[in-house]
Structure 1
Amino acid sequence: MAAGRKAGIVAAANALDIVPPPPSTLDKYAKRIWREIMPDLVERKVLTAADMPGLRNFCIAMGTVERLGRAIRKMGDGFDPALYRAQDKAMTTARQIGDQYGLSPTSRSRPSIRDTGDDNDELDAKGFG
Structure 2
Amino acid sequence: MLSGFSIWGGVVSSKHLRGVKPKITADLEPLTKVPKAPTYFSPYAVAEWKRVLPVLVARKVICTADLAQVETYCCMAGLVRQIETERQLAGGVVDVKLFGVQNRAAQTARQIAATLGLDPVSRARMGAGQEGGAGDTSPDPLAI
> Is TM (by shorter chain) over 0.5?
yes
* 2-structure distance, mates of 1:28, 1:20: 16
1:19/1:38 contact within 8 Å kept: yes
Q: CA deviation at 1:7?
A: 2.1
Specify the alignment match of 1:116 in structure 2.
none
Q: CA deviation at 1:79?
A: 2.4
Residues 1:49 and 2:64 are matched in the alignment: yes
Q: Deviations over 1:36-62 (max 9, x none)?
A: 001111010001100010000000001
Specify the alignment match of 2:116 in structure 1.
101
Q: Deviations over 1:55-104 (max 9, x none)?
A: 00000001100110011112225321222221111100001111111011
The amino acid of 1:40's aligned partner reads V
In percent, how many aligned pairs have the same letter?
34
For structure 1, the 5+ residue unaligned runs are: 113-129
Structure having greater relative contact order (Cα 8 Å, sep ≥ 6) = 1
* 2-structure distance, mates of 1:61, 1:90: 5
1:7/1:111 contact within 8 Å kept: no
The count of residues paired between Structure 1 and Structure 2 equals: 112
Residues 1:81 and 2:96 are matched in the alignment: yes
* 1-structure distance, mates of 2:37, 2:28: 23
Specify the alignment match of 2:137 in structure 1.
none
For structure 2, the 5+ residue unaligned runs are: 1-12, 128-144
Q: What's the TM-score once normalised by structure 1's chain length?
A: 0.80
Residues 1:71 and 2:86 are matched in the alignment: yes
- 2:31 pairs, out of 16, 20, 25, with 16
Q: CA deviation at 1:8?
A: 2.8
Q: What's the TM-score once normalised by structure 2's chain length?
A: 0.72
Give 4+ residue runs of structure 1 displaced > 4 Å after superposition: none
* 2-structure distance, mates of 1:30, 1:68: 12
More helix by share: 1
The amino acid of 2:83's aligned partner reads L
Q: CA deviation at 1:111?
A: 5.9
Specify the alignment match of 1:5 in structure 2.
20
Please tell me the root mean square deviation across aligned C-alpha atoms, in Å.
Answer: 1.5
